[in-house]
């Protein structure tokens, strides 16, 4: 992020615009929505700029910018439609200590103006750091259509009621009050009685929440998916938005954690196979401790919490403490991995079942029904099998699996740095080692990427001919 988004207080402060043509007028239409004192410096302003000055909307100085004109200005815009004059004006304004924007020149600007959705006092700023202005406008149009017409009025009335709402304790209870007002009670009251009915609605709602019993803590076991935040369910996003505490696995990506509420406490409870780990009993105690204090705890697990996530142990701990819980399933990495190679986990006349197995358990390398797995046509998704690959290879071949059985290793499934390794069982551990697979990897036993499979069929047909 090269530009840090902020909302600058400009009430009563100077904003200076150098230029009086169409480019300047376009900026003025936006700047005049603020409560700043606008000064325009231009030798030959167009009629529309003159008209704004005559109405007292801005101060107009009819000459070229001079040293000192931008003194004490909070912001400065160079909008002369002339590169030479804009360069000169920008240099003068910077010498006066103003933050400068050279219109349509990202490289020479100290700040940029985002696309803005205005539901005063609700303001949404959309920026693309100059990379895609058309995209920013498209997002703005979409938000304009989605946001309710009464949003600004609700925010204005809510602002005047904030002191009264401080009777509610800070945190979850106060958030619940405002959420109900903005999501349900406020829009309903406005539709039924207009702005006049909003204060009465707030007063009734406050009494309801003051008398309401304090909510007990709750634990949501949430699947974070394989890493791509776009693969999160809507329910998972809502849980992250509402969480007071998020306790997450090592494999949960920063992009997913970014979706948690800003004020939430984020706790890394990472566990690593054959490596340093937080003990399961410590994780259980953390969950229970925070939920017992009335927090909404999201236990965020990579993939799906019901697949090799030790979910039952954590549920037992929560149940034992008398704490309510819910489970929000996620996309397991096997689904993301097989989709990334254009295959399916099951296929008619190939395999009527698929096995989800783990490469290791609490006692070390995990044992399975290797004879059944080594039978022709079997497909398995092997989790946590990277470090156990030589053990898995040995067990399968010992029980009759052909050395040329196709195996695909997907590292960082669904993420931007995803890698796909096409292997055969005979070379599996060596291929993983040679590729220096360091990220989380899932092994698809019995499957090749669709493109590789098609190529193999073509070669086979050529050989037959």
| Rounded CA separation 72/93 (Å) | 10
- CATH classification at residue 225: 3.40.1010.10
DSSP characters for 168-234? Answer: SPTTHHHHHHHHHIIIIIHHHHHHHHGGGGHHHHHHHHHHHHHHSPPPPPEEEEEE-BSS-GGGS-H
User: Which tens digit of pLDDT belongs to each residue from 236-249?
Assistant: 999 998 899 999 99
Q: Domain for residue 119, yes or no? A: no
Domain boundary among 279, 302, 331: 331
What are the helix (H) ranges across 119-185? 133-146, 151-160, 162-165, 172-180
For residues 339 and 451, state if they share a domain. Answer: yes
- CATH classification at residue 438: 3.30.950.10
- 3-state SS, residue 119: strand
The pLDDT of residue 455 is above 60: no
For residues 378 and 434, state if they share a domain. Answer: yes
- pLDDT-derived band at 271 (thresholds 50, 70, 90) equals low
Q: What is the pLDDT of residue 106?
A: 87
User: Which tens digit of pLDDT belongs to each residue from 208-232?
Assistant: 998 888 778 999 999 999 999 999 9
- pLDDT-derived band at 361 (thresholds 50, 70, 90) equals confident
Q: Domain for residue 3, yes or no? A: no
Q: Domain for residue 191, yes or no? A: yes
Q: Find the mean pLDDT for residues 272-282.
A: 72
Q: Domain for residue 138, yes or no? A: no
As a whole number of Å, the end-to-end CA separation of the chain is 58
The pLDDT of residue 464 is above 60: no
Q: What is the pLDDT of residue 456?
A: 53
pTM of the predicted structure, to 2 decimals: 0.69
Q: What is the pLDDT of residue 374?
A: 93
User: Which tens digit of pLDDT belongs to each residue from 29-57?
Assistant: 999 999 999 999 999 999 999 999 999 99
Q: Find the mean pLDDT for residues 323-347.
A: 94
Q: Domain for residue 140, yes or no? A: no
Q: Domain for residue 379, yes or no? A: yes
Domain boundary among 331, 357, 376: 331
For residues 300 and 312, state if they share a domain. Answer: yes
User: Which tens digit of pLDDT belongs to each residue from 105-115?
Assistant: 888 999 988 88
For residues 177 and 95, state if they share a domain. Answer: no
Number of domains in the chain: 4
Q: What is the pLDDT of residue 213?
A: 80
The pLDDT of residue 378 is above 70: yes
Q: Domain for residue 134, yes or no? A: no
User: Which tens digit of pLDDT belongs to each residue from 311-322?
Assistant: 999 999 999 999
For residues 315 and 348, state if they share a domain. Answer: no
**Could you say which DSSP state residue 113 is in?**
P
For residues 339 and 293, state if they share a domain. Answer: no
Strand partners, 123: 118
Q: Domain for residue 73, yes or no? A: yes
For residues 176 and 287, state if they share a domain. Answer: no
For residues 169 and 278, state if they share a domain. Answer: no
- CATH classification at residue 26: 3.40.50.720
Domain that holds residue 55: 14-113
Q: Find the mean pLDDT for residues 380-393.
A: 93
Please list the active-site residues. 249, 271
Averaged pLDDT of the chain: 90
- pLDDT-derived band at 454 (thresholds 50, 70, 90) equals low
For residues 249 and 297, state if they share a domain. Answer: yes
For residues 180 and 230, state if they share a domain. Answer: no
Domain boundary among 302, 331, 360: 331
User: Which tens digit of pLDDT belongs to each residue from 423-450?
Assistant: 999 999 999 999 999 999 999 999 999 8
For residues 198 and 226, state if they share a domain. Answer: no
Q: What is the pLDDT of residue 266?
A: 93
For residues 301 and 235, state if they share a domain. Answer: yes
Q: What is the pLDDT of residue 272?
A: 59
């Amino acid at each position: 992020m090269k530009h840090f988004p902020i909302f600058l207080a400009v009430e009563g402060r100077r904003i200076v615009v150098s230029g009086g043509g169409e480019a300047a007028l376009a900026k003025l239409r936006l700047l005049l929505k603020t409560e700043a004192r606008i000064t325009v410096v231009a030798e030959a302003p167009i009629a529309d700029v003159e008209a704004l000055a005559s109405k007292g909307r801005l101060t107009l100085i009819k000459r070229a910018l001079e040293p000192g004109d931008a003194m004490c200005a909070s912001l400065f815009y160079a909008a002369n439609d002339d590169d030479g004059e804009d360069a000169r004006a920008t240099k003068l304004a910077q010498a006066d200590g103003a933050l400068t924007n050279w219109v349509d020149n990202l490289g020479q600007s100290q700040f940029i103006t985002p696309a803005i959705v205005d539901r005063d006092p609700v303001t949404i700023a959309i920026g693309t750091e100059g990379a895609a202005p058309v995209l920013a406008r498209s997002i703005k149009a979409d938000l304009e259509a989605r946001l309710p017409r009464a949003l600004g009025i609700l925010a204005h009335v809510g602002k005047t009621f904030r002191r009264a709402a401080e009777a509610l304790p800070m945190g979850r209870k106060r958030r619940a009050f405002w959420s109900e007002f903005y999501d349900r009670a406020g829009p309903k009251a406005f539709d039924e009685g207009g702005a006049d009915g909003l204060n009465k609605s707030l007063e009734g709602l406050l009494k309801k929440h003051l008398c309401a019993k304090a909510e007990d803590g709750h634990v949501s076991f949430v699947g974070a998916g394989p890493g791509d935040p776009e693969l999160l369910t809507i329910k998972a996003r809502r849980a992250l938005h509402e969480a007071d505490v998020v306790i997450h696995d090592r494999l949960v990506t920063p992009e997913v954690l970014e979706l948690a509420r800003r004020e939430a406490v984020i706790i890394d409870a990472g566990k690593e196979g054959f490596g340093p780990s937080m003990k399961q009993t410590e994780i259980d105690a953390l969950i229970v401790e925070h939920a017992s204090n009335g927090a909404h705890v999201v236990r965020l697990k990579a993939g799906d919490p019901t697949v090799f996530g030790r979910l039952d142990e954590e549920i037992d701990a929560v149940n034992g403490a008398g704490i309510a819980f819910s489970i929000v399933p996620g996309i397991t990495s096997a689904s993301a991995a097989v989709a990334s190679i254009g295959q399916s986990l099951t296929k008619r006349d190939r395999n009527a079942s698929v096995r989800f197995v783990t490469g290791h358990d609490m006692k070390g390398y995990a044992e399975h029904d290797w004879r059944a797995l080594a039978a022709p046509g079997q497909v398995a998704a092997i989790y946590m099998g990277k470090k156990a690959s030589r053990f898995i290879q040995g067990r399968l071949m010992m029980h009759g699996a052909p050395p040329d059985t196709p195996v695909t290793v997907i590292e960082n499934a669904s993420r931007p740095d995803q890698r796909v390794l096409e292997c055969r069982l005979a070379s599996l551990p060596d291929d993983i080692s040679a590729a220096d697979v360091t990220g989380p990897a899932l092994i698809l036993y019995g499957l090749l990427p669709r493109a590789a499979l098609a190529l193999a069929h073509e070669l086979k047909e050529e050989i037959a001919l």
